[in-house]
Chain A
Amino acid sequence: MSADYVLETQNLIKEFKGFTAVDDVSLKIQRGHIHALIGPNGAGKTTVFNLLTKFLTPTSGRILYNGHDITSLQSAAIARKGVVRSFQISAVFPHLSVLENVRIALQRKEGNSFHFWKSEKVLDKLNDRAVELLESVGLGNFAGAKTVDLSYGHKRALEIATTLALEPELMLLDEPTQGMGHEDVDVVADLIKKVSKDRTILMVEHNLHVVSKLADQITVLQRGAILTEGDYETVSADPRVQEAYLGVAVEENGA
Chain B
Amino acid sequence: MKISKLSIVLLGVALVAPFVMYPVLLMKILCFALFASAFNLLLGFVGLLSFGHAIFLGTGGYVTGYLVMNSGLSPLLGILAGTAAAAALGAVYGKLSVKREGIYFAMVTLALAQLMFFVFLQAPFTGGENGLQGIPRGFLFGFIDLSDNLNMYYFVLAIFLFGFWVINRTIHSPFGQVLKAIRENEPRATSLGYNVNDYKWAAFVISAALSGLAGSTKTLVFQLASLTDVHWHMSGEVVLMTLVGGMGTIFGPLVGAAAIVGLQNFLSGGELGNYVHIIMGLIFIVCVLAFRSGIVGEIQKIVKRNFS
Cα A166 to Cα B190 in complex, Å, equals: 13
Known: A76-B190, A79-B190, A119-B1. A107 touches B177 (CB 8 A): yes
Are A107 and B184 interface neighbours, CB within 8 A? no
CB pair B188–A87 under 8 Å, yes or no, is yes
Residue of A nearest to B178 (CB): A113
- Given A95-B184, A96-B181, A117-B169, the answer on whether A104 and B192 have CB atoms closer than 8 Å is yes
User: Residue A84 contacts which of B189, B191, B195 (CB distance < 8 angstroms)?
Assistant: B191
Known: A104-B181, A105-B192. A115 touches B173 (CB 8 A): yes
Q: A84-B192, A91-B185, A122-B174 are in contact. Are A114 and B202 (CB under 8 A)?
A: yes
Instruction: Determine if A80 is an interface residue (Cβ-Cβ < 8 Å).
Output: yes
A104:B191 contact, CB within 8 angstroms? no
B195 with A76: CB separation less than 8 A? yes
Q: How far is the CB of B242 from chain A (nearest CB, A)?
A: 18
Count how many chain B residues have C-beta atoms less than 8 Å from C-beta atoms of the other chain: 28
Beta-carbon contacts of B192-233 to A below 8 Å, as 1s and 0s? 111110110010001000000000000000000000000000
Question: Does B177 contact A119, Cβ atoms closer than 8 Å?
Answer: no
- Provide the bound-state CA to CA distance between A110 and B193, in Å: 13
Are A104 and B195 neighbours in the complex by a CB distance under 8 Å? no
A43 adjacent to chain B (CB < 8 Å): no
Contact with B along A30-65 (1 / 0, CB 8 A): 000000000000000000000001010000000000
Is A79 touching B172 in the complex (CB atoms < 8 A)? no
Write the A207-219 contact mask toward B (1 if CB under 8 angstroms, else 0). 0000000000000
Structural contact, A119 and B172, CB atoms closer than 8 A: yes
Using A93-B180, A94-B184, A96-B181 as known contacts, say yes or no to A79 and B173 having CB atoms under 8 A apart: no
* A116 on the B face (CB < 8 A): yes
Bitwise interface map of A from 87 to 122 toward B, beta carbon under 8 Å scored 1, else 0 = 100011111100010011101101011111111101
Q: A93-B184, A119-B172 are in contact. Are A107 and B178 (CB under 8 A)?
A: yes
Contact A79 B191 (CB under 8 A): yes
* Interface set, chain A 115-166, CB cutoff 8 A to B: 115-120, 122-123, 162, 166
**A114 CB → nearest B CB, Å:** 5
* Cβ contact within 8 Å between B172 and A120: yes
New contact pairs (8) apart from A91-B187, A104-B192, A162-B192, CB-CB < 8 Å: A92-B185, A93-B185, A94-B185, A115-B174, A116-B170, A119-B169, A120-B172, A122-B174
B residues neighboring A (CB under 8 Å) = 1, 169-170, 172-178, 180-181, 184-185, 187-196, 198-199, 202, 206
